[in-house]
Amino acid sequence: MALRIEQVIDGPGLSDWQLVHNEIIPTDPLSLDVIRERAQRRRLTVAYDDDVPVGCATVRPPEDDTPAATLIVRVLPAHRRQGFGDQFYTAELPHAQALADSVETVVLESNEDGLRFALAHGFVETERYLLPGNTIPFITLRSTDR
């Protein structure tokens, strides 16, 4: 089944993006105001199976301290292992590749499925870090493709 992928800037898509993000990243929940502000600087998308949100993605352009574009694809646990992650990743990857010569991703260490997905798609770990007040690190991985 093909996903419907929509870029979100405002409106109901923001709530769907928030729902997915906050379920998968409970250590760093985001408010709608923060998401709305990020949508002005980054590409935020939601993937739908019919009208049901199954995932969200972020494409972040390179920054001074990170010359790579960052592509983060999140799929809700109930919708994993159905091919949605591959479809979503394949659709969003060209947006990241258009911004930089290399692509990174970030996965919460406790998200074993996300880490397995990144490693299977040619990413290798480059860094682990903790956000202030958190105990579960984020893992930055860089793609070996290109």
pLDDT digits (tens, 9 = 90+) for 80-133: 999 999 999 999 999 999 999 999 999 999 999 999 999 999 999 999 999 888
Average pLDDT across the chain, whole number:
92
Picking from 97, 113, 82, 92, the residue whose alpha carbon sits closest to that of residue 46 is 92
In this predicted structure, what is the pLDDT of residue 10?
83
In this predicted structure, what is the pLDDT of residue 133?
85
pTM: 0.92
Residues in Cβ contact with 89 at an 8 Å cutoff, skipping those fewer than 6 apart: 71, 73, 117, 121
Distance CA 32, CA 10 (A): 9
DSSP SS3 for 141: strand
Q: 2 pLDDT exceeds 90?
A: no
More confident residue, 66 or 139: 139
Mean pLDDT to the nearest integer, 60-79: 92
Q: Point out the least confidently predicted range of 9-13, 94-98, 102-106, 138-142.
A: 9-13
Mean pLDDT to the nearest integer, 31-48: 95
23: left (phi over 0), alpha (psi -120 to 50) or beta: alpha
In this predicted structure, what is the pLDDT of residue 59?
97
In this predicted structure, what is the pLDDT of residue 96?
96
Number of helical H runs and strand E runs in the chain: 4, 7
Phi, then psi, of 31 in degrees rounded to 5: -80, 165
